[in-house]
Structure 1
Amino acid sequence: MVVALPILYSLQNCPYAMRARLVILLAQQPVLLRPITMKNKPAEMLAVSPKGTVPVLILRLPADIDNKIKEKQQVIDESLDIMLWALQRNDPENLLYSERADALPEMLKIIEENDKQFKPSLEKYKHAKRFHEKTEESFRLACEPFIQRLEQRLTQHEFLMGAAPSLLDYALLPFVRQFSKANRHLFLQGPYSHLQHWLNHHVQSHLYARAMFKYPLWLDSHEEFVFGE
């Protein structure tokens, strides 16, 4: 049987792609990285995931050369599903907090709140700040309850679930980073001392630097890069 590495289509600064790359690195799951841009989406990606968003992971199932069984593919095109796929294969840092039966449901609930409630408010806040709209403050305030709950969690322990990083930390990191950058001055002056420390810890890490290394675009050369080893 021949097993080919999975293919990962990714966008450099997309928060969903960022969190997938972070956890792929932590799970030590090598993939063939294909960096893209949203302005020029590869036909190969759209053929397997017509919705046209990243990340997209293509699992290439074993092919039997002797019996001439063609390679089969499985497509995972939601970032959280990619993260869980990687951690279910290998979780050396115990990001799933496996000793706590209630940990994963709790993390998934907060991630859903981030994705479905906080993220839309964050996008409106970023847009209003960028274009100097009068709605900027109201959209910032709409983000505050979620941010304050994260701050409160971090008053109890160093990371969002406890004394060590978890799936939740890496799932939320790119979005908290975006919030901090929307109005840097307000974030630094705001009541977020624990969140500021948490964010700095992550973005200054070697892991973050590896996840954010900028590879050449795949469509420019069709060169794939082994990522996650």
Structure 2
Amino acid sequence: MEREGRLSRWLRRRGGSGASGGATAGDLQAREDLLLTAAGAGFPLAPAAYPEGYGCSCVRIGCPTPGRHPVSFAWQTQATTDPEQIARWAQGQPEANFITATGRTHDVLDVPVPAGRMALERFDDEGTGTGPVAVSGGDRMLFFTATRGTPEDEDEWWPCELDCHPETMDEHPGLRWHCRGSYVLVPPARLPGDAPEALVRWVRPPVPGAVLPEPLTLLEPLTDACAVYAGEQPDQDTVAPWPAR
């Protein structure tokens, strides 16, 4: 845990200027180790943009998702668990965030942080294993689960009203289900701003070789927690627990 604390301090110092934001060799190695651990758990990774001040390192003027998107349009084919490739990316791009492509070996159930905390308490009380859990930007909690898969027969694909893709993020303010064609930032990552909430960090880190939970095991408690959270908000339309089409 000491290593993650040191890395978190480095992430807050980065600020977007300079090759590595004042990071030491130990900080950079800690970052690489965390990325390799995620890849070792089966999460395919690809480089992502990173914040420059309150903007984005990409060339897009007025980027709507600074630091949150892949560098390459070919991220789906680029994403890999190969440790040598990930080490090359990490060493060659010391500022880069990384995304993990969902729908191959894992999915991600993505909820508001208060709902995620409520659900975690319920899971712990009931003895339900959650698998890896991350906090992204201080407002979203990510639950990494097994995937529904990519069947050869498309008729066997089970569509879900909660399926979330990068271009539909705003349509899913409550619970989002990242599966095929989507991605999430993987820790360690940083979003614009200097507050601690700008970090993407593990709450429960991945363990290589561990079996991920089935998504349906977590779905009902997460949905219930989102409903409670939505009911506590003054404007429930913006935090609907279940997306309306």
TM-score by length of 2: 0.23
Structure number having the greater helix percentage: 1
Structure number having the greater strand percentage: 2
TM-score by length of 1: 0.24
| Structure with more relative contact order (C-alpha pairs < 8 Å, separation 6 or more) | 1
> Higher Cα Rg: structure 1 or 2?
1
